[in-house]
């Protein structure tokens, strides 16, 4: 049986004006049994439609801060410079995935973008806007546990991992603020921030705030998340 293809949103280097990729995203998908393909950085709708037609699912990676204009907010001085082409690109891809019921896994920026595209908002900078002693922007090694999350019951994530508490790595300064329409919370950090979401009525649209791409080699829960995504990609086209 041919392996399924996962389209991967590229990362963007402003200084080099170049796309790039953290290999863990690709290896995590490969370890779960699918073939990752890095998509072009473009907001050309026709080009994206042609590329997306070749895929069985979409991986929305980390990277730039989402533009606050996407959730009708003024940009804070603590918000990083956005990559507006990528913002528009992900909006187009996500809308196609929802329309075609293709699986989506959003990691870090990915959960934030899913929330925004469903009408939600973000904390533009956790230290400036959310009082907490929990470490959300850890230093290496990124395979270490930074804090715990509480996995909600019932939720698809609980059904997958069968635990209510999970130690996770953490490397972000923005986070879900107001939950988008049609989304369910699957996990919350020990200080109350939303850490995992799913979209109601979709085959598989999950957002995860932590980083399974760094930890999947050593952490079974990270491998299970990638595998659940890839399994959904198989089911969506079978």
Average pLDDT over residues 211-236: 96
The pairing of strands 183-189 and 194-199 is antiparallel
- pLDDT tens for residues 105-142? 999 999 999 999 999 999 999 999 999 999 999 999 99
- Is residue 236 scored above 70 in pLDDT? no
Q: Is the pTM of this model over 0.95?
A: yes
Average pLDDT over residues 101-108: 98
- 211 is annotated as an active-site residue: yes
Give the helix/strand (H/E) hosting 208.
strand 205-208
If phi over 0 gives left and psi between -120 and 50 gives alpha, with beta otherwise, what is residue 147?
beta
Number of alpha carbons in the 13 Å side-chain half-sphere of residue 177: 16
- 108 is annotated as an active-site residue: yes
Residue with the two structure tokens 């890839």: 230
- 213 is annotated as an active-site residue: yes
In the set 83, 108, 172, 233, the catalytic residue is 108
Average pLDDT over residues 36-63: 98
- pLDDT tens for residues 142-171? 999 999 999 999 999 999 999 999 999 999
Number of alpha carbons in the 13 Å side-chain half-sphere of residue 118: 25
């Amino acid at each position: 049986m041919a392996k399924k293809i996962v389209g991967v949103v590229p990362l963007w280097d402003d200084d080099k004006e170049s796309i790039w990729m953290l290999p863990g995203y690709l290896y995590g998908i490969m370890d779960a049994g699918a073939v990752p393909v890095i998509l072009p950085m473009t907001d050309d709708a026709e080009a994206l439609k042609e590329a997306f037609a070749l895929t069985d699912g979409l991986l929305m990676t980390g990277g730039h801060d989402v533009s606050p204009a996407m959730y009708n907010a003024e940009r804070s001085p603590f918000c990083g410079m956005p990559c507006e082409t990528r913002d528009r690109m992900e909006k187009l891809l996500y809308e196609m995935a929802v329309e075609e019921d293709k699986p989506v896994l959003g990691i870090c920026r990915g959960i934030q973008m899913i929330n925004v595209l469903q009408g939600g908002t973000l904390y533009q900078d956790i230290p400036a806007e959310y009082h907490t002693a929990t470490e959300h922007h850890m230093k290496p090694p990124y395979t270490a546990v930074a804090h715990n999350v509480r996995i909600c019951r019932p939720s698809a994530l609980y059904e997958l991992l069968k635990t209510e508490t999970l130690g996770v790595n953490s490397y972000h300064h923005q986070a879900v603020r107001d939950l988008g329409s049609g989304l369910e919370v699957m996990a919350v950090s020990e200080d109350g921030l939303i850490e995992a979401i799913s979209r109601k009525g979709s085959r598989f649209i999950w957002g995860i705030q932590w980083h399974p791409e760094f930890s999947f080699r050593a952490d079974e829960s990270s491998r299970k998340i990638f595998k659940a995504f890839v399994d959904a990609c198989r089911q969506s086209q079978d």
